[in-house]
Chain A
Amino acid sequence: MSLPVVLRSIFSLVILLFFLAGQSIAQDSSVGTVIQKFATAKGFSQVGKIIDELGELGDPKAAPALRALSEGNLKTDPSNNSVVIVSGDNLLDPVTGETISEAAGKSLKKIRIKNSLRRAITAALSGMTLRAQDAEIRRSAAQTIFDTSDAGQLEALEKAITAEEDASILSLMKQARASIVLNTTDDPAAMIEAISVIQERGDREALSLLSAFEASAEGEPKQAAAAAITRINDRLELWEIGQNVWYGLSLGSVLFLAAIGLAITFGVMGVINMAHGEMVMLGAYTTFVVQEIFRQSAPAFFDYSLLLALPLAFLVTALVGLCMERGIIRFLYGRPLETLLATWGVSLVLQQTVRTIFGPTNREVGNPSWMSGAFEIGELSITWNRLWIIVFSLAVFAILMIILNKTSLGLQMRAVTQNRRMASAMGIRTNWVDAMTFALGSGIAGMAGVALSQIDNVSPNLGQSYIIDSFMVVVFGGVGNLWGTLVGAMSLGVANKFLEPYTGAVLAKILVLIFIILFIQRRPRGLFAIRGRAVDA
């Protein structure tokens, strides 16, 4: 947790405490008096009355006692006719929460309740929180009433509605009122109005409420409810499509990150680097190491560990890539199949090296606070880490486009891609371009590893799980074309996520693989193919 978040929560806690303290001074006696009635209450009906009384008081001080009652921890001590809360080995005062004495040796009598009383307790609790100072408490209280549709809360709710100033909580309270009205009123007009209020809410809860109502209703209200259900369903479907697109883009950005380095090396050098996945893995392990160092020596700056891990991962993997190119691959140019085998050998060695150093099990890589958690837009739930990865992948794409189109290395890379011999004849040191390209592609894979460490298990097999998908993206998008890789990754990601609800994750993946296999047959050079005489001369 970062500092601001801690401060904020402490702040709100303090406010709450002040509020509670203020209330308790004024009403302590009356809450205490009512709770004391439990000691003499006989039977469920009397207990129920006391619960209702507490609810009407609307004092949060009664909450601990009510909760204890619901959990069966509120007991009476027949020896002095007092009411106590049992907490572990201690007896607590039901109002102040102070320890009175030890439970040992006392014969206490449990105040028995049944399910209907438990519901009453819940309603009473939410009623007293409806007017709490903290907006979040009020919001959740209103939500609870909406969920339970408890008619007993109507009065408290009406009072709260007149006092509420926050627009979003107000509408939530109105929806809660509508849910009560819907289940209690006999007036069709009131029902229809309630239905329209609930329909505005438009989420799954509204849907289940209306469905339950529709099943038992008749006449006009039934039709209104059915119409509202259809409209909510339509809306939800739309959101679901949105959610799928989001998931798809998220998966697509991961695929893109994993594949883009491969696309560069394959495009420029015609080299299949089977150790590409291991570069991703090395990047993820670099993140792990950087985070370990931060944890031990500078935990306060842990949030910034990724910022350091990114360039480091780039350097580490670019260096490994450079060594690979100079040590192995350059001897195998023009023999793509042999390159494929040799790089596979490298991948085995790298995997085993990492396994030997870091062990075969998953390593814990933490999310910095700015990458954890989620927020909601309508019915969309968006996690921060996924969002950042999409942003990051687009940034990588933009930077690569700039490198390719604006730098002299990029110009030389494009020249070598299009016609190696001609480029060489023009004085471009193709050797150097190859080495740089390979280092660049590997370095980007390393940075992808930093991103992937945030959403996936960091283990020596990390690379293996991405390599085939990356190939598919590159082949699908067309070789030597960054746009192709981007479009290919995103469309494969979205297609995968759209298939999943119908077929399950595994079958979706199989179908996508089969689709690509068939697609390559149709367009052997991918989506964005270069056409011309020189292509397969």
Chain B
Amino acid sequence: MQVSSSLLYLDGVSVSFDRFKAINDLSLYLEQGEMRAIIGPNGAGKTTMMDIITGKTRPDEGKVLFDGEIDLTQHDEAEIAMYGIGRKFQKPTVFETQTVEDNILLSLKGTRNSLPALFYQPNEPDNQRIDEILETIRLAFRRNDLAANLSHGQKQWLEIGMLLAQDPKLLLVDEPVAGMTDAETAETAKLLRKIAETHSVIVVEHDMHFVRDLDVKVTCLHEGSVIAEGSLDHVSSDQKVIDVYLGR
């Protein structure tokens, strides 16, 4: 695997909390434009891996490179976000006291400095972009409602919409369909596939139907390391995966 050709390059990454190894010698490579699904039992280190990629947690050792050259261990959350990594949290995190539209507005790609924000004026390109995104995530009709009043599934979509507004090179999506109805889950899979046409995506999910719907390469984590990688059929027939995750 060539370092420079991969969008995300994790090599020999380890991190421990109070002697508990959350991530243990983890290596993972993601191609430009690739969508990857990550599965694994609870405590496998999925969320911690995302914490490391987004700069929330510093690894004890190992390399984390983005876009072939950016050493992510040397940057904090805001810088990494500006390099083009967006993240959706396991628990939907939107700005509840603000409207759906403002949530998108705050996420729109552009400067993050406060001074321009003080004198920001709504403008046509921004409004168009907001319209587009609201259309994509099917929330145009709730544009002026407070995010707090959205249903759980709608909040998940809003957060995906915020990711889109950021227009990152890489999207990290943590359990996007947790708590969704079957219909919503199918919609979400469709939405993610559409997003993946133009972005690289890592999806963490437990829902096997959803993963099957995505139809992408799958990585299975266990105790902080990769135990199997490949197509869903290949991974789900792996004996180790069956033992620790699927087979019970």
Contact = CB atoms under 8 A, between A and B. Distances in A.
A531 B51 CA distance: 14
Nearest to B45: A533
B35 interface: no
B24 to A, nearest CB: 15
A531 B20 CA distance: 11
Looking at chain A's contact residues, the main secondary structure is loop
A373 interface: no
A531 B48 CA distance: 13
Contacts of A531: 17-18
Contacts of A532: 17-18, 20
A18 B48 CA distance: 88
Contacts of A533: 17, 22, 47-48, 51, 57
Interface residues of A, number: 3
Interface string A516-535: 00000000000000011100
Interface in A494-537: 531-533
Contacts of B47: 533
A531 B57 CA distance: 11
B227 to A, nearest CB: 21
Contacts of B48: 533
Interface string A403-415: 0000000000000
Interface string B108-139: 00000000000000000000000000000000
A237 to B, nearest CB: 42
A533 to B, nearest CB: 6
Contacts of B51: 533
Nearest to A530: B18
Nearest to B20: A532
A383 to B, nearest CB: 43
Nearest to B89: A537
Nearest to A535: B17
A166 B248 CA distance: 87
Interface string B13-26: 00001101010000
A531 B17 CA distance: 6
Contacts of B17: 531-533
Nearest to B91: A537
Q: Which of B17, B18, B48, B51: most chain A Cβ within 10 A?
A: B17
A256 B213 CA distance: 60
Contacts of B18: 531-532
A535 to B, nearest CB: 9
A425 to B, nearest CB: 15
A523 to B, nearest CB: 15
B67 to A, nearest CB: 27
A381 B51 CA distance: 56
Nearest to B47: A533
Nearest to A536: B56
A533 B47 CA distance: 9
A525 to B, nearest CB: 13
B160 to A, nearest CB: 21
A176 B153 CA distance: 94
Nearest to B90: A537
Interface in B15-56: 17-18, 20, 22, 47-48, 51
B80 to A, nearest CB: 18
A512 B80 CA distance: 37
A229 B57 CA distance: 59
B99 to A, nearest CB: 24
A533 B42 CA distance: 14
Contacts of B20: 532
Nearest to B17: A532
A532 B47 CA distance: 13
A533 B50 CA distance: 12
A531 B18 CA distance: 7
Interface string A210-229: 00000000000000000000
Interface in A344-380: none
A531 B16 CA distance: 10
Interface string A227-248: 0000000000000000000000
A533 B21 CA distance: 12
B86 to A, nearest CB: 20
A48 B17 CA distance: 86
B201 to A, nearest CB: 23
Nearest to A532: B17
Contacts of B57: 533
A532 B16 CA distance: 9
A326 B48 CA distance: 39
A533 B22 CA distance: 9
Interface in B46-97: 47-48, 51, 57
A533 B90 CA distance: 14
A334 to B, nearest CB: 15
B33 to A, nearest CB: 31
A484 to B, nearest CB: 16
A533 B46 CA distance: 12
A533 B23 CA distance: 12
A532 B19 CA distance: 10
Given A532-B17, A533-B51, 6 more contacts: A531-B17, A531-B18, A532-B18, A533-B17, A533-B47, A533-B48
11 contacts: A531-B17, A531-B18, A532-B17, A532-B18, A532-B20, A533-B17, A533-B22, A533-B47, A533-B48, A533-B51, A533-B57
Interface of B: 17-18, 20, 22, 47-48, 51, 57
8 nearest CB pairs, A to B: A532-B17, A531-B17, A531-B18, A533-B48, A532-B18, A533-B17, A533-B22, A533-B47
